[in-house]
Amino acid sequence: MRHDAGLFFGQFVRAPAVTGAVAPSSRALSEAVAAPVPERGEPVVVELGPGTGPFTAEIQRRLAGRGRHLAVEVNQRFAARLAAAHPYVELVVGDAVGLAGLLGARGVDAADVIVSGLPWAAFSAARQTALLDAVVAVLRPEGAFTTFSYVHSRALPPGMAFRRRLTAAFEEVVAGRTVWRNLPPAYVYHSRRPRTSF
């Protein structure tokens, strides 16, 4: 865990707009983000930006060997660490903007749940929109999308812009309680019923 934190911080210093955080997410935040992963059935769960894998571990715990878990990571060093730590996860190295193609190449046409660890507030308006377009394009109508935001970014222009885009992309967007046991503190967006056009 300490080695993961060192790697994470190093990648943040190298490319803060890509990594977006100084430390891996906590167990408490991981549990909140992964809550929509069903504990029954054979769901297809897609994870965006798994980093060193804190959300990955919680998703795997909830799935307990069922369904499919595909993790899309653009950072090669994070991808190598994730592959070693979670061999049962289907690792996809690539940019989530091309999500439909990345999943289609693996025989997946739609996801039941998409869990995002992407640093939305670090992205430009155009990239936020392109990524949300990609999410909506592959999420089943009854599917769930969860992501998080740091408390300090809530009032910043990129954070507010992301909330507006999220509300435009989904009929239902609920912000959860603040998870104080995280560095920095964060809260989770639970979104359902993707709009076909926004």
Rounded Cα gap, residues 144 and 146, in angstroms: 7
Interval 89-142: pLDDT, tens: 999 999 999 999 999 999 999 999 999 999 999 999 999 999 999 999 999 999
pLDDT at res. 154: 86
Are 62 and 89 in contact by the 8 Å Cβ rule? The answer is no
Residues in the chain where the model's pLDDT stays below 50: 1-3, 5-13, 15-20, 22
pLDDT of residue 11: 43
Model pLDDT, residue 12: 43
Phi-psi region of 41 (alpha: psi -120 to 50; beta: other; left: phi over 0): left
Q: For residue 193, what pLDDT is reported?
A: 96
For residue 66, what pLDDT is reported? 97
